[in-house]
């Protein structure tokens, strides 16, 4: 039992760096492996894990469910920030000054190469996922179909049901076990995590190779397992991991250093590449390269840089092209570049989707419905997530829940299909992939089965494009309701899966229903008869109502439909859905980010925060270091778990001790750690430096997993030495006066992607330090400006 | 003759504000109207102007051509900066603090309303231009066609030629006269000017109502006049003017204040709206709303803001929708939304434009050709522009040149058609708008005429979509060469017109030629036979080679073709064209910006500039003001033409005079002017304030045309009064230490859109001021980092 303990949040285990946030204790427990997922991935582990989870379930059933209290009005101190501001110390400046113009050109070229690689690999991964899912799902559906056909005649369909349930549960179990035991951060779509990363919050283990492997395997299992999930969301996370890996030219997990791209081993560069990776993921998922770029910019960018955007676009293009190319080979139609993404909305011809001005109010109504349903979805999921955080926090329970959902999904689907008497004639072109005849007459198939007995991507496409009359309203209505609750229950399970496709499917179903009802109350033959158009609008409305993305989602939808005509309606619908939804509750991703108490910075400071100044928001007093500081003092400061910060202003004392000390630089914990590790001390007595001069390379080699201070041994003699920080500190940190208003501080901080902002008085003396958590804790609540509590959750 | 003097650059006449740059003399000559264009627009003026230009021509012919020397290594001091940083003084903060949350919501809603209006009006203007051009060009071509048909039989086609030449010249003359005499800033496409504006440079008169009127009338005249120009570029400028006008809720030109949107009367807000206007313009021109957004971001944005981008997108959508809607009514096909832009590439079906992997090298070769031809175009145009700056700087000469070009264009076209013996059978569907039979057999038409005897937009579409075999290679080759030189000669004339369509046309012609040659050397029936595809790639290559836009141009092209498949090839082509072209010479817009010596800030500081620090780049010494300053001193400082800046650090003296003075704020010339105008003085003797308290409204009313200091009368008594700046200065200006490296200063300056950045020492004393020109003057030349000279050109 010792191996399975609670895992609540993304950050339950602090990063190995040991530096766990701008103000958190360094110690995170004993050095022993406490988690099942730390056990190397071997075959027998599966059995062990399964055994353990059964044990854990027993425990739980014996009434040992423990509640973990949860408070939303908290901001966790566990999360570190990324540093988007270059550390311009002497070492860095010397290197830059040594570099020739050609050197910069070569760097630029390698950036392009890296982006090309990111796109290529992301496309390959998408392709791999798609093919494996197609093959496995094909096998599953064929087996079940044959079985159903066998038993339809002779009776005993309950055996088919059990077969279906068991097949689904096994897939989902495997998917849930690898996520729950080996890498819990791989659960869900990964979009909230990537949003946070791009926003500048360091989520532990989010861009590791292991996460990628678990994510890919997990998403295959959960999609094949028939859950109400999509494989698109996780692509964004996968692309980001690929980017973080490729750009660093090494794998810390595999202990392999290719000695390439060493220049890119810092947060600034890495974050740029991760933006490209996320964009490449979106691009591969939806065949939407421009949408991908806009997604990255919307979620991540603060300072817009033309060349960066262009590189992101390049990665996106390569990604969709790679996917398209390999899928065309797989479909034995090499060169036919008609599968730009994992989800393919099919072709909307301009003629069939023409709309009129007077339809726009209808679209807006649909947007409002989407917003309402989205808010309901989010609210239900919010309660469910709170429940999960409180009670379902053991891997065993999590796997059991996932299997339960899989079984219920299969049962509900089967029941719906079984009791449905909506028979439709088989089309001449056999557009149905797995038509289930069931109790229908020969030459007909069960219409309910086209939506349930199919991968969700295919169901969406059928809803968009099938001829009017393919579905009857009751089928659609029932499907919408059941799928809505199933999808809501599914999101947040400990499996890797996305919410895009289920949302689209729900929306397409009620959209089509809306279209059919509209057609039935108006004259036949009018423009209303094309219910596929309403399915598209419904899909957009529902998705917008749940995720509340705006510009990028519009472009993604437009690119996925391949038709620019629909831009304006989709935009209006998304806007309405957002406005209506925001009135009730936030977007799904934001809810999950908030539930993890992440210090997320929005675009602007809260509107009514002009009365706050830097003096009020800053943390003070600040631990400052002298330019030449005693090693013992530094070690003590770094080891102090109650006052620890990650950035320390460096000050210079006046000639006589009386004069106030002026700010002269800023140094980071990670830099100090490297300095201590390499023992860059000055022995005052002999006044000599250590022989080896520290290089930027030493800092880059340690990046990003800096060792904790506890792992560095400093002898008593060494404690008496001095350390000269002049060369290593950032000599020109950004500063603001004390009276600066919060919006102004916020703008500076956000635009430049800072991690620490020093507040000085009018004599240039340090009076405080503004960090991410100081800004993130102010937010607009129902009663005006609210302040979140900081906590060590 | 006194009324016509040289007008060389965009900024020949300083803005009425009188504040003419961060270091320029205030005086700009006598108060008399010196320019013909200042005369109100009355009917007789046309005659007057025509008379004057004839006189001027006489002068010129008498050998009085005067050369104006030109030096590119200069940076003009004439251009003011826009201030993208809010002036957070006490007045502003008080207003913000008073505002409730609902107040902010209302503001946000009015921003949306303004953007909707901008989109609507821009769409209307585009629609107006399109319809008028269609009608007038239709009349012209019908008249000439009838005439040609009449004289083909009886002989005497020279009369047709003369008719054509005269018609074209008259249109062009009208267009040139209104531009040259009334608003020279309306010449050209306006894209360089808008680029500068969005970059933060204040180009005088660029967003005035008069400019818009002249621009619209001018572009109609030049397109109808048959010049090798397009009407798309000017739409961007038109959109920007609409935005600047609508967002301010008043028209200074019409002396009408609607008392609306007063909150938006400052540079920050106005620039945001102008971004939206430019995007709406692109959107209307090319039917590319996403391309429009990206254009605005690529050219203008520094800090990416999600809500702003979303509003820009809204304006773009409304704009293309409005255009589409009204054009559909005009084409008597209401509701058919198939004309989203002024230029319509026609529909590229996926099947006909499929490409294979092995074609990609070909595309890249085409990109390189485009880059080379683009560089040649730009180089020729560069020399031509230098010649024009030196010699053709009088309105008379400018009008004559425009007429000459019009005449030559018509003559060349006629000659080419006349001598062409490329007869093609008339298609069954009569796709040709004005088929010229000329010497062809019945049922056939002259193929050369489809390219020359047509609006350029139609010619482009024909080149993209006409069946293989429509053109013979000789026709295309001749057309490419002649049109290349005509377009090159035309760009830079004193007419409103854009270079997009001519570039596309040249590229489409040689691209199609390339496709035909390729088909002829390979087996027939292969994929090469579709030369329309190569026309598209050629068009992209040529346009990319000339303007060197990247991301936005890719998206614009993709949106205009309505087919996402072509994204990757177009991107590769544009990238190749840019790389090849940049090797020789800059993009056309950048050349023109440089020739005007505009202090344009690029995205990043030059790569090899890390060895420069703020100490080296800053201007010093700085004129500082005391917090309570004598009125006389202020007036003297503002009136001093040799040292004038637009921003003044405000300092506070220590208790005894010995202590150094600390920085405590920053105040702008425009604010001081308003303070002086309202006489906000403290009479020290009686120690009382003036009765009326100054409001933010007073500053907003004066915005943007602040009066010059000379127009404010300050009596000798008043000079002895004091002025308390505390309430009005920005108390928390951004500062940097002296040792900050140039890239760091640059990043701060660019990301926050600053106008003044105070450099302080480690005691917070002012040592210098960094302005736009200090940063813009460093650029990477052939021999590494170069420094431009500052001059009062």
Q: Which helix (H) or strand (E) holds A774?
A: helix A772-776
A254 band by pLDDT with thresholds 50, 70 and 90:
confident
d(CA A96, CA A354): 57
| B303 lies within 8 A of chain A by CB | yes
B760: nearest CA in chain A? Answer: A764
Residue B25 lies in a domain: no
| Residue A48: pLDDT over 60 | no
**What CA–CA distance (Å, rounded) separates B414 from A349?**
41
Are residues A540 and A650 both part of a single domain?
Answer: no
- Closest residue in chain B to residue A307, using alpha carbons only: B603
Q: What is the 3-state secondary structure (H, E, C) of A373-438?
A: HHHHHHHHHHHHHHHHHHHCCCHHHHHHHHHHHHHHHHHHHHHHHHHCCCEEECCCCCCCCCCCCC
Would residue A147 count as lying in a domain? no
> Is the CB of A568 less than 8 angstroms away from the CB of B317?
yes
Residues A757, A637 within the same domain: yes
Q: Report the pLDDT value the prediction gives residue B250, as an integer from 0 to 100.
A: 83
| SS3 call for A656 | coil
What is the distance between the alpha carbons of residues A277 and A280, in angstroms, rounded to a whole number? 5
CATH classification at residue A730: 3.10.580.10
Residue B502 near residue B228 (C-beta atoms within 8 A): yes
Across-strand partners of A257?
A250
Does the residue B440 lie in any domain? yes
SS3 B778: strand
**Among B312, B330, B348, which residue terminates a domain?**
B330
Residue A675 lies in a domain: yes
Cα atoms in the Cβ-side hemisphere of radius 13 Å centred on A528: 18
What is the per-residue pLDDT across A292-307, written as a single tens digit (0 to 9) for each? 998 988 877 666 678 8
The whole-number pLDDT of residue A780 equals 82
Regarding whether A649 and A524 lie in a shared domain, the answer is: no
Pairing relation of β-strands B688-689 and B722-724? unpaired
CATH number at B563 reads: 1.10.3080.10
* Residue B170 within any structural domain of the chain: yes
Residue A425 has pLDDT above 80, yes or no: no
pLDDT tens sequence across B236-246: 999 999 999 99
Q: What is the pLDDT of residue B23?
A: 38
Structural domain for A543, as ranges: 357-392+421-595
**pLDDT grade for A428, boundaries at 50, 70 and 90:** low
- One domain, residues A732 and A619: yes
Asked if A99 reaches chain B (Cβ–Cβ under 8 Å), the answer is: yes
Q: Is A693 on the interface with B (CB under 8 A)?
A: no
Q: Is B282 on the interface with A (CB under 8 A)?
A: no
Assess whether A541 and A619 both reside in one domain: no
Indicate whether A566 and A685 sit together in one domain: no
Vertex B128: Cα angle to B124 and B130 (nearest 5):
115
Residue A686 and residue A575 share a domain: no
- Measure the CA–CA gap between B268 and B198, rounded to whole angstroms: 11
Question: Is B347 contained in some domain?
Answer: no
pLDDT attached to residue A53: 54
pLDDT confidence of residue B40 = 39
From chain A, pick out residues whose CB is under 8 angstroms from the CB of B310.
550-551
* Residue B541: strand, helix, or coil: helix
pLDDT on residue A16? 36
E-state strands within B554-683: 625-626, 628-630, 647-652, 662-668, 682-683
**A398 close contact with B: CB closer than 8 A:** no
Q: What is the pLDDT of residue A6?
A: 38
pLDDT tens string B658-676: 566 889 899 999 999 998 8
Q: Which residue of B has its CA nearest to A108?
A: B607
Tally the domains of chain A: 2
Same domain? For B168 and B313 the reply is: yes
The reply to whether A581 and A443 lie within a common domain is yes
Return the pLDDT at B44: 47
Q: How far is B585 from chain A (nearest CA, A)?
A: 18
Higher pLDDT, A16 or A408: A408
Check if the beta carbon of residue B25 is closer than 8 Å to that of residue B792: yes
Query: Has residue A146 got a pLDDT over 90?
Result: no
Instruction: Please tell me the pTM assigned to this model.
Output: 0.88
Q: How far is A379 from chain B (nearest CA, A)?
A: 25
Average pLDDT, chain A: 82
Q: What's the pLDDT at B41?
A: 38
- The secondary structure of residue B351, as a DSSP letter, is T
Whether residue B67 is contained in a domain is answered as no
How sure is the predictor about A150, in pLDDT bands with cuts at 50, 70 and 90?
confident
Length of chain B: 793
For residue A356, whether the previous peptide bond is cis, meaning omega lies within 30 degrees of 0, is no
Give the per-residue pLDDT at B433.
Answer: 66
Q: Most A CBs within 10 Å: which of B287, B337, B572, B573, as the mutation test of the A interface?
A: B337
Model confidence pLDDT, tens digit, residues A459-503: 888 888 877 777 788 888 988 999 999 999 999 899 998 899 999
For every residue of A238-253, DSSP letters joined together read HHHHHHHHHHHTEETT
Q: CB A550: neighbour CB atoms within 10 A?
A: 22
Interface of B with A in 731-790 (CB under 8 A): 731-732, 734-737, 739-741, 744, 747-748, 751-752, 760, 762-764, 780, 784
- A561 and A698 housed in the same domain: no
- Best-predicted range by mean pLDDT among A649-663, A687-701, B268-282, B519-533? B268-282
Contact B610 A340 (CB under 8 A): no
Q: Which of B283, B320, B732, B766 to mutate to test the interface with A (most CBs of A within 10 A)?
A: B732
DSSP β-ladder status, A80-81 and A201-202: antiparallel
A81 — pLDDT class (breaks 50, 70, 90): confident
How far apart CA B318 and CA B326 sit, in angstroms, is 12
For chain A, what percent of residues have pLDDT higher than 70? 84
- In order of A113, A133, A297, A312, B17, the CA distances from A119 in angstroms are 10, 21, 17, 9, 51
**What's the CA angle centered on B59, arms B55 and B60, to 5 degrees?**
115
Q: Please tell me the least confidently modeled range out of A372-381, A742-751, B473-482, B674-683.
A: B674-683
Residues of chain B with pLDDT under 70: 1-72, 301-304, 334-338, 349-354, 427-433, 523-529, 643-644, 654-660, 683-692, 793
Structure tokens at B546: 């000339």
* pLDDT attached to residue A691: 47
> Could you tell me if B642 and B652 are in contact, meaning their C-beta atoms sit under 8 angstroms apart?
no
Same domain, A474 and A580: yes
User: Which residues of chain B does A269 touch, with a Cβ-Cβ cutoff of 8 Å?
Assistant: none
- Evaluate if residue A32 carries a pLDDT over 80: no
Q: Decide if A149 contacts A437 (C-beta within 8 A).
A: yes
Strands A756-760 and B250-251: unpaired
Quote the CA–CA distance of B602 and B748 in Å, as a whole number: 13
Which residue, among B140, B211, B180, B171, has the nearest Cα to B405 in the 3D structure? B171
A388/B44 Cα distance (integer angstroms): 82
Same domain, A552 and A619: no
Contacts of B376 (CB under 8 A, 6+ apart): none
Residue A625 contacts residue A651 (beta carbons within 8 Å): yes
Between A14-18, A158-162, A515-519, B290-294, the lowest mean confidence (pLDDT) is in A14-18
Q: Does B773 fall in a domain?
A: yes
**Tokens read off for B158:** 């020279």
Contact A306 B603 (CB under 8 A): yes
Sign of CA dihedral A61, A63, A64, A66: positive
Distance CA B396, CA B407 (A): 16
Q: What is the DSSP string of B429-449?
A: T---SS---TTSPTTEEEHHH
Q: What percent of chain A has pLDDT over 90?
A: 34
If you compute the radius of gyration of chain B from its CA atoms, what whole number of angstroms results? 28
């Amino acid at each position: 039992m010792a191996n399975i303990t609670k895992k609540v949040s993304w950050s339950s285990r602090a990063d190995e760096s040991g530096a766990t946030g701008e103000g958190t204790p360094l110690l995170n427990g004993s050095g022993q492996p406490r988690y099942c997922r730390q056990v190397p991935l071997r075959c027998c582990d599966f059995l062990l894990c399964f055994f353990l989870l059964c044990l854990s379930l027993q425990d739980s059933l014996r009434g040992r469910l423990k509640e973990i209290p949860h408070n939303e009005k908290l901001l966790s101190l566990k999360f570190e920030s990324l540093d988007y501001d270059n550390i311009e110390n002497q070492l860095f400046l010397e290197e830059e000054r040594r570099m020739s113009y050609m050197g910069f050109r070569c760097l630029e070229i390698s950036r392009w190469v890296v982006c090309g690689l990111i796109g290529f690999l992301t496309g390959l991964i998408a392709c791999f996922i798609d093919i494996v899912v197609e093959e496995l799902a094909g096998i599953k559906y064929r087996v079940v179909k044959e079985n159903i056909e066998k038993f339809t005649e002779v009776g005993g369909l309950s055996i088919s049901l059990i077969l279906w349930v068991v097949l689904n549960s096994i897939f989902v179990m495997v998917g849930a076990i690898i996520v729950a035991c080996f890498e819990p951060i791989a659960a869900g779509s990964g979009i909230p995590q990537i949003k946070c990363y791009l926003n500048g919050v360091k989520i532990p283990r989010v861009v590791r190779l292991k996460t990628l492997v678990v994510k890919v395997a997990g998403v295959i299992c959960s999609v094949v397992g028939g859950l109400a999930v999509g494989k698109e969301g996780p692509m964004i996370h996968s692309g980001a991991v690929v980017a973080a890996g490729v750009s660093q030219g090494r794998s810390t997990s595999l202990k392999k250093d290719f000695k390439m791209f060493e220049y890119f081993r810092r947060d600034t560069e890495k974050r740029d590449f991760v933006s490209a990776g996320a964009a490449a993921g979106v691009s591969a998922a939806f065949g939407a390269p421009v949408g991908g770029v806009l997604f990255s910019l919307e979620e991540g960018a603060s300072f817009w840089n033309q060349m960066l955007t262009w590189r992101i676009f390049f990665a996106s293009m390569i990604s969709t092209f790679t996917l398209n190319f390999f899928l065309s080979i797989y479909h034995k139609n090499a060169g036919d570049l008609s599968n730009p993404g994992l989800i393919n909305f099919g072709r909307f011809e301009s003629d069939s989707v023409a709309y009129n001005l007077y339809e726009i109010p209808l679209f807006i109504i649909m947007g409002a419905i989407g917003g309402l349903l989205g808010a309901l979805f989010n609210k239900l999921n919010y309660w469910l997530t709170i429940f999960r955080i409180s009670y379902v926090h053991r891997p065993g329970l999590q796997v059991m829940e996932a299997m339960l959902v899989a079984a219920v999904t299969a049962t509900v689907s089967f029941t719906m299909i079984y009791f449905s008497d909506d028979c439709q004639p088989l089309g001449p072109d056999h557009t149905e992939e797995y038509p289930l005849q069931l109790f229908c007459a020969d030459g007909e198939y069960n219409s309910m089965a086209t939506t349930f007995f199919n991968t969700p991507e295919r169901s969406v496409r059928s809803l968009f494009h099938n001829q009017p009359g393919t579905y009857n309203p009751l089928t659609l209505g029932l499907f919408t309701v059941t799928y809505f609750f199933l999808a809501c229950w599914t999101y947040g399970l400990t499996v890797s899966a996305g919410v895009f496709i289920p949302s689209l499917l729900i929306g397409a179903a009620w959209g089509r229903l809306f279209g059919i009802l509209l057609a039935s109350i108006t004259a036949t033959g009018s423009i209303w008869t094309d219910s596929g158009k309403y399915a598209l609008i419904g899909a957009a409305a529902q998705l917008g109502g749940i995720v509340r993305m705006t510009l990028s989602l519009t472009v993604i939808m437009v690119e996925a439909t391949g038709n620019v005509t629909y831009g304006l309606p989709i935009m209006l619908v998304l806007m309405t859905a957002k406005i209506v939804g925001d009135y009730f509750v936030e977007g799904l991703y934001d809810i999950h980010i908030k539930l993890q108490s992440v210090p997320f910075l929005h675009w602007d400071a809260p509107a009514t925060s002009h009365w706050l100044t830097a003096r009020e928001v800053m943390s003070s007093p600040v631990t400052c270091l002298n330019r030449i500081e005693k090693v013992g003092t530094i070690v003590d400061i770094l080891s102090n778990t109650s006052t620890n910060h990650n950035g320390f202003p460096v000050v210079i004392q006046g000639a006589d001790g009386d004069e106030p000390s002026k700010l002269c630089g800023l140094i980071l914990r990670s830099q100090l750690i490297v300095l201590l590790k390499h023992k860059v001390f000055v022995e005052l007595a002999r006044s000599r430096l250590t022989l080896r001069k520290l290089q930027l390379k030493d800092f880059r080699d340690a990046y990003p997993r800096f060792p904790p201070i506890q792992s560095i041994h400093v002898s008593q003699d060494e404690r008496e030495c001095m350390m000269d920080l002049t060369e290593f500190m950032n000599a020109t940190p950004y500063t603001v006066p004390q009276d600066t208003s919060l919006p102004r501080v916020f703008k500076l901080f956000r635009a430049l992607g800072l991690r620490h902002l020093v507040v000085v008085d009018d004599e240039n003396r340090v009076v405080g330090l503004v960090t991410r958590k100081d800004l993130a804790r102010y937010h607009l609540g129902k009663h005006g400006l609210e302040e979140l509590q900081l906590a060590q959750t």
